[in-house]
Structure 1
Amino acid sequence: MSIRRKEKLIHTLRWIVKGRWAIIVGILAVGLAQRSINVVSIHLPSSVMITLALTAITYNLTYYFLLRRGMRLNAWTLRILAIAQVFVDQLLFTYIIYISGSSESLSFIFYFFPILIATVLFRNIGILLFAFVNSLLYIFLIVIEMNTILPFVARYDFVSGIHGNIPVMISNTLTIVAVIMLAAFFSTYISNMIRDREREILTEQDKVNSILNSLPDGVIMIDVTGKVIALNPQGAEMLQVKASAIIDNILVKENFIPELQELGAHIIQQGSHTHIESKEIEVEERGMRHVYKITTIPVFNALGKIMGSMKVITDYTRERELDRMKSDFISIAAHQLRTPLSGVKWLLKMIIDGDMGPLNEEQRKFLTRGYQNQERMISLINDLLDVSRIEEGRFKLNTELQQIEKSIIESIRAIETLAQKKNIQVRFIKPEKLLPPVLFDKEKIELVLQNLLDNAIKYTKKNGHVLVNILQEGNMVTVSIQDNGVGIPQDQQKKLFSKFFRARNVMQMHTDGSGLGLFIVKNVLTTHGGDVGIESEEGKGTKVWFSLPIHRV
């Protein structure tokens, strides 16, 4: 017997035991009601009724305690319990039929309960066999009563015309047996329908399990009560738990080893019931730092009601280590390159300025081009160093309470030469009244302004314009820079603040750029507690805005 079939059989037997409690209570209620009806002559002594009730309770409790052993029961024990669940009921119901009037009794309908139990436990042949046993027990009871082997227990105070009337008794017996067998045949159709539905469910479960087991990430599903529904092998390995120990149980922090209890606490949290959430957790495990990303996905049923959540656990340790190594390399390489490049830059400047002798026009032209390329290289290295500081958490702020308008004016002056080369008008619309002071790092915010203004001029064609505006919006000061340049494709706007990303249309323009400027801008503003956004339409222009919180005294 497979583990799945064993689990299913145990689950079914447990539900039958629960259902039998309802049958016991119901039959007792019927018996008590029969005693109160005057037309019925059966007046069972209380001792008989108590004995019947105790017998049923005893064997149902026996099933209950045996089934508590669960998967520890072997296959043969479970099969014997399944057969006993039906056969013992048949014997008890046969005795109830006898004491309630035998051939005059309507209690033969109790035989339908064993048939129902057989329907959920056995296949078609088993259902028919138990129905046949029901029929044999009933025929045997009627035969021994007709032959006065057992004394007749009359049901009614009057003569019903059934007992002693052989043709009528035979006719009634055959009718009841036919009804029992017909019920059994009908139950086989119900059984087939149940089995077909089970196969469909198992097929779907196999598909889901195959998908979960083939995923490289750990997956754990938790219902709204905190009970674990599913756990794939990768999840069990990452969390260092046994699936059998936590599935169908409430997940608690103590299920995890001490090193992973912080990770476990985040997994236990239900999270949002409306959207997907992600969080990275760092843990010390066996003396090593591990980074895990936990993605919480709400799970709904067909009616849209929340069922729980699925946690996807991704081990980012290797990726983060590679990122760190890459950042270290970039930082070291940039530092090592900046000094000699700066030396070459100033040497070229001295030659161009004539400090080392006169130059002809062609020499000056080529040296100037080399000087400009050198400046671009140094600018790229500075960007790489800024990115390295951001990723290492060394991008510190030196904030002061000051007016941001002054930094805007200085940044516009710094790009005037570049704007004049393309005949681009840069206009700053000053506020009518002085805005409240803002707490910011002057150097870092001017770096932001320089990046945004440089982009606006670089990606705006000749004779264009750039508009800089500033206004107060609630507790924030918002600066916007708007151009009538090439714009940004809609499908690429979400990636603009990623490292090394450049939009498709600007790459076709053959303009230089590292794709790091907006990444730096985003991080500088986030560190200040501000925000940044872009509104753009390809071919019409771009508006970039950023906001900083106002310092309230």
Structure 2
Amino acid sequence: MPESATLPSATTKLEYLRKDLEDLRYYLDEFSAFLPLSVIIVNPQGFILDINQAFENLIGLEKAGVLGSTVAKLFCEQEQFAELEARVLKGEVIKGARATLLLRDRQISRSLYLSPRHDCEKNIIGYFLGIYDISENVKLTEGRNGTVCARTIELEEKSEDLLRSRAALMNILEDVAEEQKKVEQERDKTLAIIKNLADGILIFDPHNVLTLINPQAKEMMQLDESSVVGKMAAALTKVTNIMPLINFLGRNIKKVYRKQLELKSDKVLEISAFPFLTGRETLGKMVILHDITREKAIETMKTEFVSVAAHQLRTPLTTVKWSLHLLLHGNLGAITAEQRDLLMRTDEHNERLIGLVNYLLDVARIEQGRFVLRNKNVDFIKLAETVIAPFLEVSKNKQLNFKFIKPREKVLPVNVDEEKMVLVIENLVDNAVNYTPPHGNVTVSLSFDKAKSEVLFTVKDTGIGIPEDNKQRIFTKFYRAENAAMASTSGSGLGLFITKNIIEGHGGRIWFESIQSKGSTFSFTLPLK
């Protein structure tokens, strides 16, 4: 028989080897749990990766409550321990250092043994920390010589056990290194995802130092990675291409969501910045850059088209308006009652179209930054009374309880654009009257806050209200709440958009509270200037 036929096959050898490795791993786990020496495995950053059963028993905490915390926090002398940690991470083996261990109910003195951990390429990847009791050593020095000798022998035996334990722990290190390799693979996957995202990504550490920038961000900002990575945000203000972004976010990288930033290169970016956490600990901050240059260009073209179309519609609609008025006033001859009714309804619809065209022109001016305010000092009470007057008759016909509550004290003039403020009040009051059913209430109130030096205008109704899931979009253009769109009243979805821009253009603010089927309250403030 050939000699090779008597030898085990390669597959059989591999199975034997695998079984031996499994037996060895089980032995090491059992041996680690059996060891009387408290052992901690620490990574280069000082975080605890693993502990054995002896250390769990010593501190009275389960492993899950300790892993991931910093090892220095276990000791009173944290500064001295930091020095020991720095030495061992340089490759030094430290024996017999003393430290006071902090437990939940007491402090105990212990001796430390620190040894570097190496990977297969001899790179330092952390260290082992052994903690053993020295209280008995102190007592021995106070005892009799014979007892000292006996205890010394015993301690020497224990030391030999510790050396053997260290050899076993070095074997365990191989398993730890394997787990470390898996962690590094996951890290590499994450970095690959970040680098291949369509959006630009910048990562800052907890101290606002830029640690990573992906290729898309470098291209958007036209940056050289070597000139920005590793620098604090404050230092980046001196780098021309990234300076607008840092000035926008601040040196502490404030939290923002989908805010626009226009660069000198005619590029428009949508910026989002937020911290990323593990538990309550901030690991750093992420900045996402989304290029919306194309979308903004399309939006600009739409705005320009709306502006041109509205201007083109305005002239014929005005011509129709005056033609209808000539017919209604009998300038072109007598008309029958039926003809008058038809012409009046036609004129009403024509006025509605003219109003829509004017709204579209206002929207175009707002988006193009041409919505100019022509402010002057105005008696706001008189202005509000003038605008509200026509709605009193409408409310009466609709059987609404309409109230206007004016301030009792004398008030100063408000510096506003009168024409545009008329539009604001008309929009809010018109909405309240239109969307409140018969026998409902509409209350308009005006007050002045001397302490804040501002005027407060409020319109409260008992109308249809706004659904909860519609509230976030109520001030966006061309949007109407679902229940309003289903109501019999007409609307363009532009009134509140224009109103918000007018109020904010005056340095004021506008907000609302609403419950569906119970009513809404719209309020705005204006500074007294």
Q: TM-score, normalised by structure 1?
A: 0.64
What's the counterpart of residue 38 of structure 2? none
- The 3 A distance-change label for structure 1 pair 202 and 243 is farther
**Contact 1:404–1:437 (CA under 8 A) maintained in structure 2:** yes
Superposed CA deviations along residues 77-115 of structure 1, whole A, max 9, x for unmatched, are: xxxxxxxxxxxxxxxxxxxxxxxxxxxxxxxxx9x96xx
The equivalent position to 2:222 in structure 1, one of 240, 247, 251, is: 240
Change (3 A) 1:255 1:448: closer
1:280 to 256, 260, 264: 260
Q: Distance in 1 between matches of 2:502 and 2:247?
A: 32
* 1:500 paired residue among 461, 470, 478: 478
Residue 300 (structure 1) aligned with residue 277 (structure 2)? yes
CA deviations on 1:443-477 (whole Å, 9 max, x unpaired) are 11111001111111111112333111111223111
- Relative to total residues, which structure has the larger strand share, 1 or 2? 2
Deviates more, 1:307-316 or 1:416-425: 416-425
Deviation at 1:424, TM superposition (A): 2.7
Structure 2 counterpart of 1:311:
287
- Whether the aligned pair in 2 keeps the contact of 1:487 and 1:538 (CA below 8 Å) is yes
**Per the alignment, in what secondary structure is the counterpart of residue 389 of structure 2?**
helix
Q: Secondary structure at the match of 2:263?
A: strand
1:199 — aligned with what?
Answer: 182
Q: SS of 1:327's equivalent?
A: helix
What's the secondary structure of 2:350's corresponding residue?
Answer: helix
CA contact (8 A) 1:469 1:480 kept: yes
Aligned 8 A contact 1:240 1:257 in 2? no
> 2:509 touches 2:525 (CA, 8 Å); kept in 1?
yes
Is 1:223 equivalent to 2:179 in the alignment? no
The yes-or-no answer on 1:408 pairing with 2:391 is no
**How do 1:47-446 and structure 2 match up within 5 A?**
118-119=118-119, 121=121, 183-203=166-186, 205-243=187-225, 246-250=228-232, 258-263=240-245, 265-266=247-248, 269-272=251-254, 275-276=255-256, 279-285=259-265, 289-302=266-279, 304-446=280-422
Task: Work out the CA distance in 2 between the residues paired with 1:471 and 1:255.
Answer: 45
Of 511, 517, 520, the match for 1:542: 520
Mapped contact 1:253–1:264 kept (Cα < 8 A): no
- Determine if contact 1:412/1:426 at 8 Å carries over to the other structure: no
Cα distance in 2 for partners of 1:348, 1:21 equals 94
C-alpha spacing 1:214/1:499, structure 2 compared with 1 (3 Å): farther
Residue-by-residue CA offset, 1:148-179 (whole Å, 9 max, x unaligned): xxxxxxxxxxxxxxxxxxxxxxxx9xx98x99
Instruction: Read off the aligned partner of 2:92 and give its amino acid letter.
Output: I
> What do residues 253-286 of structure 1 show as CA deviations (whole Å, max 9, x unaligned)?
66987455433554672233xx54554332222x
Partner residue in 1 for 2:430: 454
Whichever structure has more helix as a proportion of its residues is 1
The 5 A counterparts of 1:486-497 are 486-497=464-475
The alignment status of 1:23 with 2:1, answered yes or no, reads: no
1:411 match: secondary structure: helix
TM-fit CA distance, 1:22: 6.4
Could you tell me how far 1:252 is from its partner in structure 2? 6.7
Between the aligned partners of 1:444 and 1:311, the Cα distance in structure 2 is 39
- Corresponding residue of 2:487: 509
2:375 and 2:418 in contact (8 A); partners too: yes
AA aligned to 1:395 is F
Aligned residues: 401
CA distance in 1, matches of 2:513, 2:196: 41
Indicate the larger mover: 496-505 or 246-255: 246-255
- TM-superposed deviation, 1:201: 5.0
Assess, with a 3 A threshold, how the Cα gap between structure 1 residues 363 and 213 changes in structure 2: closer, same or farther.
Answer: farther
1:324-348 per-position Cα deviation (integer Å, ceiling 9, x unaligned):
2221111111111111101112212
Q: Secondary structure, in 3 states, of the residue corresponding to 1:187?
A: helix
Q: What is the CA–CA distance in structure 2 between the aligned matches of 1:456 and 1:267, rounded to whole Å?
A: 40
In 2, the alpha carbon distance for the partners of 1:426 and 1:179 equals: 90
Which amino acid is 1:538 matched to? Q
State whether residues 241 and 256 of structure 1, in contact with CA within 8 Å, keep that contact through their aligned partners in structure 2: no
Contact 1:253–1:261 (CA under 8 A) maintained in structure 2: no
Mean Cα deviation higher: 528-537 or 358-367: 358-367
Q: Say if 1:214 and 1:511 are closer, same or farther in 2 by CA, change over 3 A.
A: farther
TM-score by length of structure 2 reads 0.67
Do the aligned partners of 2:246 and 2:253 also contact (CA within 8 Å) in 1?
no
AA aligned opposite 2:252:
Q
CA distance in 2, matches of 1:525, 1:429: 21
Shift of 1:359: 3.4
Amino acid at match of 1:489: P
Q: Distance in 1 between matches of 2:218 and 2:368?
A: 32
Kept in 1: contact 2:223–2:242 (CA 8 A): no
The corresponding residue for 1:100 is none
Tell whether the 8 Å contact from 1:213 to 1:232 is kept in structure 2 after alignment: yes
- Aligned residue identity for 2:202: I
Report the residue type matching 2:455 in the other structure: V
Partner SS state of residue 489, structure 2: coil
Deviations 1:468-499 (A, max 9, x none): 11112231110111111111112212211111
3-state DSSP class of the match of 1:481?
Answer: strand
Runs of 4+ aligned residues of structure 1 deviating over 6 Å after TM superposition are 178-182, 254-257
Contact 2:465 / 2:519 at 8 angstroms: preserved in 1?
yes
Cα deviation, residue 428, structure 1? 1.0
Distance in 1, Cα, partners of 2:86 & 2:422: 77
Deviation at 1:206, TM superposition (A): 4.3
List runs of 5+ in structure 1 lacking aligned partners.
1-10, 31-109, 124-171
Answer whether contact 1:224 1:308 (CA < 8 A) is retained.
yes
Question: What is the SS of the residue equivalent to 2:443?
Answer: strand
Distance 1:421 1:335, change over 3 A: farther
Check the 8 A contact 2:448/2:455 in 1, yes or no. Answer: yes
Alpha carbons of structure 1 residues 446 and 239: separation in structure 2 relative to 1, 3 Å = same
Unaligned runs of 5+ in 2: 1-44, 46-84, 98-112, 124-155
**Matches of 2:363 and 2:201 in 1, distance apart?**
34
Output the CA distance in 2 between the equivalents of 1:265 and 1:535: 35
Query: Secondary structure of 1:354's partner?
Result: coil
| SS of equivalent residue, structure 2 residue 371 | coil
